[in-house]
């Protein structure tokens, strides 16, 4: 039943855009004011860009001069998988590439508040035999191959898409990238096996950067082609097939010149960064996706995962900032993919050795259970320093005392828990191993014995308790909760159903 509900949340092909009050929420006043300031019409075309590493979604809107300008940047609450394109069904990868979103892909009945289908796989993906379905941008901050926002965020994004359709835009373009395609990011990831694909989609990124126009996207010979036009002597437009040979086409000279100029600067900066020795980003971390720093700061033990926080800004510094939407109590921060960790070879564990002054020999921390040692006088003698100087500090259960063991100890085989701990220590970026060593370092026997047992900590339920009973609405002063039970939502005469009926 759960699986059917989840699929229903992603099934967008057989629903109308106008039967749900959530889908007809007005564009917020702040966004309307921003449009006026940037000389944009409410119903002008939009374009969306997504960046995994930065965990950001950008909404661009066409101004009255015909060029697109950035309207608003939304932090992404959660995305799953790794940097790189989606390849097969079930790989948890959020897609990368260029996709087209038409009205039939908008889902007002989503189980994740509101959503729209990315359109994966496109013709390029299919030509390579890539599989997958129901890859969405939706609310609820929960992802299994999707880009998840908060409910308030997706309501705004959805309203902007809806209004662009009202204005006559037949489909808006979605550009999904692993990161912003800057020279520094390309240098950091220069050894990544996905680099040939990333260089190919960077071509489209560059076209948009220099023209501020939506690039025309075609496919042939299993590759992307941007802004192709028919040759001057051709009688008809070229016909493209993702799996077939490319037809004769040209790219406008002004676009070619601008793109080449940008790429020359990028390549020179890239070469400088590589020569400088820019560190290569870690690959195959096993971490499942990422989360924007503003959301990670609000979650107990939150982590940005494969996303990056702003330089000089810690999660503690962001903890007091206001989150852009309601974070549900069930949200999970990025963690190592347990399936990936389980399949990886177990790391060789070494005992943690800490030197304790003034003793000259090492004390080896171990989790082995304490063995029974002599009687009362023997224990007293050891505590007074009359025993052996080589002491094995144990981790006793509550009310247990430290025992003395010979200096020569045997190493027990690593357990599943210790392997997972070692994998997390190895995989999580920025993990400070020195803290683990300090935490595991032995304490003097007298201190361990004298310390009273601490009561077990109760789980923190404050986040779950603060989750509202009803999902919030973007509209100020109105929500579905204000309707009388059993009443249907009132749709204005100029609703999407009446205004868009001709395009169903």
Helix axes 195-211, 253-276, angle to 10 degrees: 130
Q: Distance between CA 139 and CA 158 in Å, rounded?
A: 10
Q: Distance between CA 10 and CA 431 in Å, rounded?
A: 36
- Taking every pair of Cα atoms in the chain, the longest distance, rounded to a whole number of angstroms, is 105
Q: Is residue 70 within a helix (H) or strand (E), and if so which, with residue range?
A: strand 68-75
Task: Supply 417's token pair.
Answer: 């828990």
Other C-beta atoms closer than 10 Å to the C-beta of 262 total 15
**Angle subtended at Cα 458 by Cα 454 and Cα 460, rounded to the nearest 5 degrees:** 135
Task: Supply 466's token pair.
Answer: 């603060």
What contacts 15, CB < 8 A, 6 or more positions away? Answer: 107, 108, 109
Phi, psi of 200 (to 5 degrees): -70, -45
Instruction: Let me know: does 498 contact 31? Beta carbons within 8 Å.
Output: no
Give the 3-state secondary structure of 229-266. ECCCCCCCCCCCCCCCCCCCCECCHHHHHHHHHHHHHH
Residues taking part in catalysis: 138, 146
DSSP annotation string for 475-500: STT--GGGSPTTPPPP--TTSHHHHS
């Amino acid at each position: 039943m759960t699986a059917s509900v989840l699929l229903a949340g992603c099934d967008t092909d057989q629903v109308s855009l106008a039967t749900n009050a959530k889908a007809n929420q007005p564009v917020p006043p702040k966004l309307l004011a921003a449009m006026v300031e940037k000389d944009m019409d409410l119903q002008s075309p939009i374009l969306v860009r997504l960046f995994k590493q930065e965990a950001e979604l950008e909404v661009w809107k066409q101004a009255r001069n015909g060029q697109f300008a950035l309207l608003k940047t939304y932090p992404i609450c959660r995305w799953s998988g790794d940097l790189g394109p989606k390849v097969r069904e079930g790989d948890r990868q959020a897609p990368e590439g260029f996709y087209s979103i038409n009205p039939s892909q908008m889902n007002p009945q989503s189980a994740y508040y509101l959503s729209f289908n990315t359109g994966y796989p496109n013709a390029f993906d299919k030509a390579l035999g890539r599989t997958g379905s129901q890859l969405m941008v939706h609310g609820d901050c929960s992802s299994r191959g999707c880009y998840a926002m908060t409910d308030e965020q997706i309501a705004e994004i959805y309203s902007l898409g809806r209004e662009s359709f009202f204005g006559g835009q037949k489909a808006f373009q979605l550009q999904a990238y692993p990161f912003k395609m800057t020279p520094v990011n390309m240098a950091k990831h220069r050894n990544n096996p996905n680099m040939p694909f990333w260089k190919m989609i960077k071509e489209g990124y560059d076209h948009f950067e220099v023209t501020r126009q939506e690039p025309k996207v075609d496919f042939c010979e299993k590759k992307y082609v941007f802004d192709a036009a028919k040759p001057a002597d051709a009688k008809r437009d070229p016909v493209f097939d993702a799996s077939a040979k490319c037809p004769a086409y040209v790219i406008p000279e002004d676009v070619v010149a601008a793109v080449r100029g940008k790429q020359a600067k990028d390549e020179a900066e890239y070469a400088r960064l590589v020569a400088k020795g820019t560190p290569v980003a870690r690959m195959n971390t096993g971490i499942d996706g990422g989360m924007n720093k503003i959301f990670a700061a609000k979650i107990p033990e939150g982590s940005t995962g494969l996303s990056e926080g702003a330089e000089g800004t810690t999660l503690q510094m962001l903890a007091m900032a206001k989150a852009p939407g309601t974070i549900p109590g069930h949200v999970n921060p990025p963690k190592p993919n347990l399936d990936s960790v389980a399949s990886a070879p177990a790391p060789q564990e070494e005992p943690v050795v800490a030197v304790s002054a003034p003793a000259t020999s090492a004390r080896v921390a171990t989790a082995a259970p304490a063995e029974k040692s002599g009687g009362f006088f023997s224990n007293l003698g050891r505590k007074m320093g009359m025993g052996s100087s080589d002491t094995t500090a144990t981790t006793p259960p509550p009310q247990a005392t430290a025992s003395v063991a010979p200096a020569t100890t045997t190493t027990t085989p690593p357990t599943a828990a210790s392997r997972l701990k070692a994998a997390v220590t190895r995989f999580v970026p920025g993990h400070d191993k020195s803290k683990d060593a300090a935490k595991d370092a032995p304490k003097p026997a007298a201190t361990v014995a004298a310390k009273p047992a601490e009561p077990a900590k109760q789980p923190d339920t404050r986040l779950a308790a603060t989750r509202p009973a009803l999902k919030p609405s973007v509209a100020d002063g109105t929500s579905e909760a204000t309707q009388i039970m059993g009443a249907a939502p009132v749709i204005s005469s100029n609703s999407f159903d009446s205004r868009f009926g001709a395009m169903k």
